[in-house]
Structure 1
């Protein structure tokens, strides 16, 4: 069988994901090589996501390379993908999900042990995520949020330089890069309280929908993780959301029972509203949650 060409962004985290994908492909007997593609999200660093036009900031150019045949497989952070696949493409596999939660990194002089999330009330917190901004507005109304862009090491350097008192990052990225954070106060944000982005911590392998290797790739899917991700992303799709929508969703399953937690706001400047449900049927669970979110609007 022919070698698979993997398309990826060039950040440290994206390259970790691409190399991890190579290892997984090798485990099922598929050879591969990596091609780096620069996306709109990589090129535009001066705007927050909610001020950028359109969707697919970190995926569009890679999807175009897939459709043209320049690459055979794209590895994405699943949360960056649009909820509707472009014609001709599909999700080939969703491998084991990593940590789903967000992490608050705080400069030691701004850490307060008995405060909410251990951060001072007057802290300036860096994030360009509308979802994170609106949830910070709910939990830490006295804090100020300022936009923060760049790859994970760059964001941490900005915190180290004192441009912010604290920043919010996804724990999965921090763990994958094995970063030393000993100089900061590190606070894991409980995902049932500070709701992560739909599909956070999960990877998606995207391919052309007529690729003969699709069936072989399916064996890399973690079916339980894929089911939880599907529920989270279905909600996002029905809300017509993307990076601009202040929306978080976190789904888990114990036995035959799904547990679903959501947060939503009208804008990044508005505090989030929260809702939770449980049930055994994914379709009914999504429908009931949508009704609940609309009632709270």
Structure 2
């Protein structure tokens, strides 16, 4: 099996994780590193890059061409519409879904929201994060940053920025030492994460039935159901990675679904919030979208 992946440290961690799972099933595999538009263009914010899928398209092209048998992606990077001929064969367990704020220890201020003073600089290129930061701490100054996780962390460590905001899942998976920084954990129901955050997706060709069959044991059913709601909402809102939309869905022990959504028209616009609970997924995404559009 040939696994297509991006070359960042986090992407390789994800690909190696899947590779280890396959080995447990008796399936040998090798990695093929593919550069995407998002990797090549580091000087532009996500909202300035053309189209959707700028961390996936080149990998999907290799998949369609038959150069690789499967691709491992971060689910939150994936467009909601699959290219013709491709499908999601399996979704992983879900890591910590939260966004974290990592602060230069000399810049942390006790008693302030997120431990950051008015006028503090915080690095993020996500419109979703910018909109919610503006709502929850209007005094912050957001600064666009790109690059891999260690590169972005260094911006706060070095004092170039007061803080950066990153997904907890990536930091958890890379097991980075954060002891020299102040780490703030906003709750995922208040600071709503990206649809699919914390989940790895394995993509294959639709007609590769043997490969798809072998990947069935890797699929997490509950994660699949909850992220399906999240991504359906993103799809109905006609959004991509750069849309200022956070959606988080969880299932309780009884089987009910609970959704938190936060949406803004732009990074500078007011945030509209919706919370909804239902006993079934049927029509849930549509109801949330209707409420977001009405509010």
TM-score (norm 2): 0.98
CA RMSD of superposed structures (Å):
0.9
Residue from 219, 223, 226 that aligns with 1:225: 223
Aligned residues: 293
Partner of 2:263: 264
Deviations 1:180-212 (A, max 9, x none): 111111011210000000000000000001112
Partner of 2:147: 150
Deviations 1:204-246 (A, max 9, x none): 0000011122122111111011111100000001111112210
Partner of 1:285: 284
Identify the range of structure 1 (153-162 vs 124-133) with the bigger mean alpha-carbon deviation.
153-162
- The secondary structure found in structure 2 opposite 1:67 is helix
Aligned partners of 1:220, 1:56: CA distance in 2, in Å?
24
Residue from 80, 94, 110 that aligns with 1:83: 80
Deviations 1:63-101 (A, max 9, x none): 000000111110000000110100110001002111111
Aligned partners of 1:167, 1:47: CA distance in 2, in Å?
17
Q: Are 1:108 and 2:105 counterparts?
A: yes
Q: Are 1:25 and 2:29 counterparts?
A: no
Aligned partners of 2:81, 2:17: CA distance in 1, in Å?
25
Preserved CA contact (<8 Å) 1:262 1:276:
yes
- The secondary structure found in structure 1 opposite 2:130 is helix
- The secondary structure found in structure 2 opposite 1:95 is strand
1:108-127 equivalent positions in 2, closer than 5 A = 108-127=105-124
Q: Are 1:138 and 2:146 counterparts?
A: no
Structure 1: stretches of 5+ with no match in the other structure: none
- The secondary structure found in structure 1 opposite 2:100 is strand
Preserved CA contact (<8 Å) 2:155 2:164:
no
Identify the range of structure 1 (40-49 vs 26-35) with the bigger mean alpha-carbon deviation.
26-35
Preserved CA contact (<8 Å) 2:75 2:201:
yes
Partner of 1:275: 274
Residue from 55, 65, 69 that aligns with 1:68: 65
Q: Are 1:34 and 2:31 counterparts?
A: yes
Q: Are 1:92 and 2:105 counterparts?
A: no
- The secondary structure found in structure 2 opposite 1:20 is helix
Preserved CA contact (<8 Å) 1:136 1:271:
no
Structure 2: stretches of 5+ with no match in the other structure: none
Aligned partners of 1:134, 1:259: CA distance in 2, in Å?
22
- The secondary structure found in structure 2 opposite 1:38 is coil
Aligned partners of 2:105, 2:234: CA distance in 1, in Å?
36
- Note the C-alpha offset of 1:157: 1.1
- Note the C-alpha offset of 1:284: 2.3
- The secondary structure found in structure 2 opposite 1:283 is coil
TM-score (norm 1): 0.97
